[in-house]
Structure 1
Amino acid sequence: MDAPAPAPDTALAVQPWPGPLQFSSEGMLVLGLQLQSSAKGEARAQARLAVRHALTQAMATLLHHPPASIHIDNRRGHAPQISIAGSHGPAPQCSFAYADRYALAALKLHGAIGVDLMPVIDIPDWQAVARDYLGPQVCARLQALPASQRAAALAQEWCRLEAQLKCRGVALAEWREECRADARHAPLILPQAAMAGHVAWR
């Protein structure tokens, strides 16, 4: 039988941008950026540029590199890649997430990272979603919750799944026992109560 998935670490606070930033003991940070407009449709491209610019400025300050030396690949449909001119060794890794007028950028100095974000909403067919993608244990936990708590718990579980998939660099697929995530993970403390977020790293 497979080992159980790792338990979540202590919740990690999202650090607002602009503002002072610091790395966690794991060598990572998650910064949050308020967007000018909802990250949908044509505004998504502006949101992608805005959050990448914020992360570039943050790295320039924290890693003591000029901003012009830092490049974050912006190809849609591909995991973002960081390159730093004149730097030796593996580059940090990053991940991005967007929901409504808010965006997250997660950075890890050594190793993979994934982050996800979504609004807390009621999903009428939540049981089918949980069964197909989150697995029987999560489905049972959600079923046992009071209805008033279920939407927030489901959003957090979905963000956990998506963050772990991004961390592993794999696409969303229906749940299978042999595909349990093995990355460490933690819920995010967000400024908006109606949002859920999660970060995963290896």
Structure 2
Amino acid sequence: MNWTRQPLALPPALQGRVQAQAVVMAGAAPSGALPRETMREAVYLAIGETLAPQLGCEPAQLAVQRRAGQAPQLLRNGQVLPGWQLSISYADALAVWACTQGGTVGIDVQGPPGDAQTDIDAAGWPAVAALYLEPDAAATLTGLQRMDWQRGFARQWARLEAQLKCAGLALAEADHRQKGWNAGIALWDLDSAAGAVALAWRASA
């Protein structure tokens, strides 16, 4: 399993508060997709190698615990490390992760939902955007065509997912989300050649 980890450039407001990396896999299939368990193994290794020096332990002492519907948790010697919050996202042969000790964090990466030959209307993507994106986010896609629409959709979907993870909420249609659900959450787009990456952060109350 060949992979590399690359730090993601964070805005000044997050420096010293959040750590974030991209994990890029080599040897992907022509579609760019890799088994999710393979991706998870690489990401968990990257997290361990990155955080172990800060925690004064060996990478093998660190692990990530997954539970359905919950943010992943960082473990040391099998015990949850209090105060650490993780967020992880996958798209094809790219994964991103972020962690913080000072609040909550959400990160998400999305590739375009198709290629240059995809008929986005026939595939139903505009209907998905109208149902799930916030109205102002959906409005940014108005007038875009083909790959411009797809890249715009990927950006807005990454922003939505990052905020939902930061807020500890599951994906739901926009009409079913409570008003003010994302209050206090700061949101940034991060540079990545492999897809749209968004990071959301909210300070502790």
TM class, shorter-chain normalised?
0.7 to 0.9
Question: Does the Cα contact within 8 Å between 1:21 and 1:58 map onto a contact in 2?
Answer: no
Give the TM-score, by structure 2 length: 0.75
Unaligned runs of 5+ in 1: 1-15
Higher relative CO (Cα under 8 Å, sequence separation at least 6) belongs to: 1
Cross-structure match for 1:181: 182
Aligned AA (1:162): E
Deviations along 1:12-65, whole A, 9 cap, x unmatched?
xxxx61679999425112111112436867x21121121011111100134433
Unaligned runs of 5+ in 2: 115-119
Tell me which of 98, 103, 121 is aligned to 2:113: 121
Give the TM-score, by structure 1 length: 0.76
1:50 matched to 2:42? The reply is yes
SS at match of 2:198: strand
Cross-structure match for 1:199: 199
RMSD: 3.2
Map 1:87-166 to 2 at 5 A: 90-122=82-114, 123-124=120-121, 125-145=124-144, 149-166=148-165
Question: Does the Cα contact within 8 Å between 2:104 and 2:167 map onto a contact in 1?
Answer: yes
Question: Does the Cα contact within 8 Å between 1:35 and 1:102 map onto a contact in 2?
Answer: yes
Aligned AA (1:127): P
Q: Distance in 1 between matches of 2:9 and 2:134?
A: 36
